Amino acid sequence: MKKITRIQLSTMMFLEFFVWGAWFVTLGTFLINNLNASGAETGAVFSTQSWGAIIAPFIIGLIADRYFNAEKILGLLHLVGALLMYQMFKAPGVAVFYPYALGYMILFMPTLALVNSISFNQMEDTEKEFPPVRVWGTIGWIVAGLAISFVFLWDSPENVKAGLMKNTFLLASIASLVLGLFSFTLPKTPPKVDKGAKVRISEILGFDAIKLLKDKNFLIFFIASILICIPLAFYYQYANPFLIDTGMANTTAKMTMGQIFEVFFLLMLPFIFKKFGFKITIMAGMLAWSVRYALFAYGNAGDLTFMLIIGIILHGICYDFFFVSGQIYTDAKAGPKFKSAAQGLITLATYGVGMLIGFEVAGMIKDNYTTTSIVNGVSTVVSDWKMIWIIPSGIALLVFLLFAFIFHDKNEKPITQNLNI
């Protein structure tokens, strides 16, 4: 791969995840403080990500893979996305904000597959060349968080109260516009499928891999993947507003430690996976979710700040040990014939169905443990964060125990072929 191509692809990845990180991390804080959204309304807005994940395969399978170059589709989606993001910036209430958010996520989620497709098309050795390019996506997410806390100061308590968190959407809109224009300069990535080829919905959604569920262990893993995404949704939806509510300074910047340690644990994963095997590794990821929420429940921004920091850092184990390990396991179980279909099925189950349920449940729990009192004409909203975090901690622990006792890996073959050690 030429140096100029590597720079182009790295810039693309940086901007792709900068756009996402610039608004999604602080979305919960914005909805609660700027738009006075209830838990149910917040859950509905976050669920647009799940609807985007469910619809994305159709955009990729029916349009991008058949009729247009991937880089042109990427550019068009981000240009329209920039306009929708600007409308989200101007929205006066949840009712106006929601349809724009839904439209945006339906357009954005397919771009996550497109940036990978564009990258893979330029690489001869993806295992060697892709990680150095993909890491710029994580860097982009981190830079967005650092900018919000240290450059613009939008997540400071006084600026949150002043409503300045809405500016994150303007920042994301500008970055999306830049990426949209930049995409048209990327290396050409022509359609992969002949226009006249027969389209099967089952193939697009990954249903061709449904036969893998006949394998008891894979079925258990599949169900566990859906269930673990229920507590996962709590983190995306409420971690930022919770940490700000505790009085923690530079919250958004500190949350980027999760991505920093995600990179670290991702590098360690092949060795851990090879030494301990799939079951122990994925169980560690499940247990980490339970532990991190327990730390959030009992920590504070005073003498127990370290508990909150550890909870943030655990994101690396939570994500890598469960999701990345799960992708490797799925890849090995599916074999060459159903590899793509199986990954599509797991993505649909987790980011689609699992998180859709999770965002709804998180909203219900938040509403149930939030009270509003009026003193001298002043309305005060108080959330019982301890209970809000104890419940997903318990759910994750239950999934961990069920998986530990039901999943039996004695007859499983060692899964090492996808580990580049």
Q: Supply the pTM of this predicted model.
A: 0.90
Beta bridge partners of 379: 374
DSSP element (H, E) containing 111 = helix 94-121
Nearest CA to 32 out of 176, 170, 174, 155 is that of: 155
22-43 in b/e form (b: 16+ CB < 10 A) is bbbbbbbbbbbbbbebbbebbb
Residue 119: the pLDDT is 92
Kind and range of the H or E element at 372?
Answer: strand 370-375
Distance of alpha carbon 63 from alpha carbon 105, whole angstroms: 17
- Per-residue pLDDT, 105: 96
Q: How far apart are CA 368 and CA 365, in angstroms?
A: 5
134: left (phi over 0), alpha (psi -120 to 50) or beta: alpha
3-state secondary structure at position 408: coil
Closest among 92, 79, 104 to 23, alpha carbons compared: 104
Going from the C-alpha of 11 to that of each of 14, 16, 22, 27, 142, the distances in angstroms are 5, 8, 16, 25, 14
Q: Quick one: pLDDT at residue 337? A: 65
Q: Which domains does the chain have, with CATH numbers?
A: 1-185 (1.20.1250.20), 209-421 (1.20.1250.20)
Do 26 and 156 form a contact (C-beta atoms < 8 A)?
no
What count of Cα atoms within 13 Å lies in the side-chain half-sphere of residue 414?
Answer: 9
Q: At what angle do helices 70-90 and 167-183 cross, to 10 degrees?
A: 160
Tokens 């127990």 correspond to: 304
Residues 176 and 19: beta-carbon distance below 8 Å: yes
Q: What is the pLDDT of residue 193?
A: 58
Q: Give me the long-range contacts of 378-385 (CB less than 8 A, separation at least 24).
A: 383/242, 383/245, 385/242, 385/245, 385/246, 385/296, 385/297
Q: State the pLDDT at residue 420.
A: 46
List per-residue pLDDT tens for the chain, 421 residues long. Answer: 899 999 999 999 999 999 999 999 999 999 999 999 999 999 999 999 999 988 887 776 666 666 788 899 999 999 999 999 999 999 999 999 999 999 999 999 989 888 988 998 898 887 788 888 988 999 999 999 999 999 999 999 999 999 999 999 999 999 999 999 999 999 998 876 555 566 666 665 556 678 888 889 999 999 999 999 999 999 999 999 999 999 999 999 999 999 999 888 888 888 888 888 889 999 999 999 999 999 999 999 999 999 999 999 999 899 889 888 888 888 788 777 666 677 778 888 899 999 999 999 999 999 999 998 777 777 788 999 999 999 999 999 999 999 999 998 765 555 444 444 4
Distance CA 34, CA 256 (A): 23
Which residue stretches of 299-418 are H helix?
Answer: 305-313, 315-319, 325-347, 355-368, 385-406
Q: What is the pLDDT of residue 172?
A: 98
Q: Give pLDDT, residue 267.
A: 83
Burial of 395 by CB count in 10 Å (0-12 exposed, 13-18 middle, 19+ buried)?
buried
Give residue 410's pLDDT.
66
Q: Helix, strand, or coil here: 206?
A: coil
Non-local CB neighbours of 69 within 8 Å, separated by 6+ positions: 188, 189, 190, 191
Q: How far apart are CA 110 and CA 75, in angstroms?
A: 12
258 in Cβ contact with 308 (< 8 Å) = no
| C-alpha to C-alpha distance for 101 and 126, rounded to whole angstroms | 33
Instruction: Compute the distance between CA of residue 344 and CA of residue 349 in angstroms, rounded to an integer.
Output: 9
